[in-house]
């Protein structure tokens, strides 16, 4: 018999809880960092409906991250999400799911970030990319929150492999891609995020005009009194094939992001301000559409 919680949930805990011992072992053994890639995460009906209601980038609700190290769009304001996508975000930030996630990752006392700082809805159209990087290490507005786990739910029905967009996980010395996964509908990547967790989709997408690579990203934290003393902003890195000029541009843009990240934490800049500032620094005036 289903519990009240199970009936009210979008996610089938009756399915995912019994698998925890096996999944947790897979998670901790995976390389280059502890991670797991899960298929058919929600029901097919929920996933297709969420994909269908994913909003286009044609409103001021979207932040446009367009600088040398990335070309994508994000929406972090939960109150602006369509109904089902909002309910999915709430589910993945619920106490029951966070407990399941702690058991999966072996990281106790995980905290959900209901403000979706840096996360939320993401999409990139033709030409979009995200250079390989490690993530910022602490929450910009909770100085004692250390970032520990990323969850990315992909919502791309009919995505073709020739369009690119696979998320790549690189070794900590940035010598090679160790694992890569396609951004297909209803598939989830969960991974530890720290100074070794290099990931991204660095090659520009070749999907048709009017098609975009869509995802929902959730980040989880633990409290750490030392978090404020050991802070790092997003750390973009060049690949061995990038060459000297591209490597230098990646480094220069990384410094701009680092400067902004520190200013954001200190002065409380908005993401809308950030997108304009980084576009100005990088000389990218056209935001474009996916």
82-94: pLDDT as tens digits: 999 999 999 999 9
- Taking the C-alpha atoms of residue 251 and residue 248, their distance in angstroms, rounded to an integer, is 5
CB-facing half-sphere around the CA of 235: CA atoms within 13 A: 15
Q: Which domains does the chain have, with CATH numbers?
A: 4-282 (2.60.120.620)
Residue 275's pLDDT band (cuts 50, 70, 90) = low
Alpha helices of the chain — where are they, by DSSP H? 4-8, 13-16, 20-29, 44-52, 83-92, 95-105, 243-267, 271-282
Q: What angle do CA 267, 111, 6 make, to 5 degrees?
A: 135
Which sign does the torsion angle of CA 259, 35, 102, 88 carry?
Answer: positive
Q: What is the pLDDT of residue 289?
A: 43
Is the predicted pLDDT of residue 251 greater than 60, yes or no? Answer: yes
Is the predicted pLDDT of residue 267 greater than 80, yes or no? Answer: no
Q: What is the pLDDT of residue 66?
A: 87
Q: Which has more pLDDT, 119 or 5?
A: 119
Tell me what the mean pLDDT of segment 128-153 comes to.
88
- Taking the C-alpha atoms of residue 93 and residue 114, their distance in angstroms, rounded to an integer, is 7
pLDDT, tens digit (0-9, with 9 covering 90-100), for 1-54: 334 344 468 999 999 999 999 999 999 999 999 999 999 999 999 999 999 999
Q: Which residues contact 85 (CB under 8 A, 6 or more apart)?
A: 50, 53, 54, 121, 216
pLDDT, tens digit (0-9, with 9 covering 90-100), for 214-225: 999 999 999 987
Residue 280's pLDDT band (cuts 50, 70, 90) = low
Q: What is the pLDDT of residue 277?
A: 58
- Taking the C-alpha atoms of residue 74 and residue 169, their distance in angstroms, rounded to an integer, is 21
pLDDT, tens digit (0-9, with 9 covering 90-100), for 156-183: 999 999 999 999 999 999 999 999 999 9
Query: Which of 89, 100, 105 is CA-nearest to residue 218?
Result: 89
Whole-Å CA distances, 84 to 4, 46, 61, 264: 20, 8, 17, 31
CB 159 within 8 A of CB 183: yes
Is the predicted pLDDT of residue 79 greater than 90, yes or no? Answer: yes
**pTM beyond 0.85:** yes
What average pLDDT does the structure give for the chain?
A: 88
Tell me what the mean pLDDT of segment 69-80 comes to.
95
Is the predicted pLDDT of residue 290 greater than 60, yes or no? Answer: no
């Amino acid at each position: 018999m289903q519990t009240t919680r199970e009936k009210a949930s979008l996610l089938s805990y009756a399915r995912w809880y019994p698998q925890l011992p096996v999944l947790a072992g897979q998670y901790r053994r995976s390389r280059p960092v502890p991670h797991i890639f899960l298929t058919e995460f929600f029901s097919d009906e929920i996933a297709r409906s969420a994909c269908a209601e994913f909003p286009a980038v044609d409103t001021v609700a979207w932040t446009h991250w367009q600088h040398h190290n990335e070309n994508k769009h994000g929406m972090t304001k939960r109150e602006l999400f369509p109904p089902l996508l909002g309910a999915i975000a709430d589910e993945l930030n619920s106490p029951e799911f966070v407990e399941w996630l702690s058991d999966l990752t072996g990281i106790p006392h995980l905290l959900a970030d209901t403000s979706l700082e840096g996360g939320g809805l993401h999409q990139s159209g033709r030409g979009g990319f995200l250079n390989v990087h490690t993530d910022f290490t602490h929450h910009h507005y909770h100085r004692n929150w250390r970032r520990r786990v990323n969850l990315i739910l992909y919502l791309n029905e009919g995505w073709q492999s020739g369009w690119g967009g696979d998320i790549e996980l690189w070794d900590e010395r940035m010598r090679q891609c160790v694992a890569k996964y396609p951004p297909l509908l209803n598939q989830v990547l969960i991974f530890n995020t720290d100074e070794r967790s290099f990931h991204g989709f660095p090659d520009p997408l070749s999907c048709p005009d009017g098609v975009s690579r869509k995802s929902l990203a959730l980040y989880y934290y633990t409290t750490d009194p030392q978090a404020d003393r050991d802070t790092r902003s997003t750390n973009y890195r060049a690949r061995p094939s990038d060459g000297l000029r591209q490597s230098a541009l990646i480094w220069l843009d990384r410094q701009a992001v680092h400067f902004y990240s520190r200013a954001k934490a200190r002065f409380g800049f908005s993401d809308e301000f950030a997108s304009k500032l980084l576009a100005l620094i990088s000389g990218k005036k056209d935001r474009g559409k996916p």
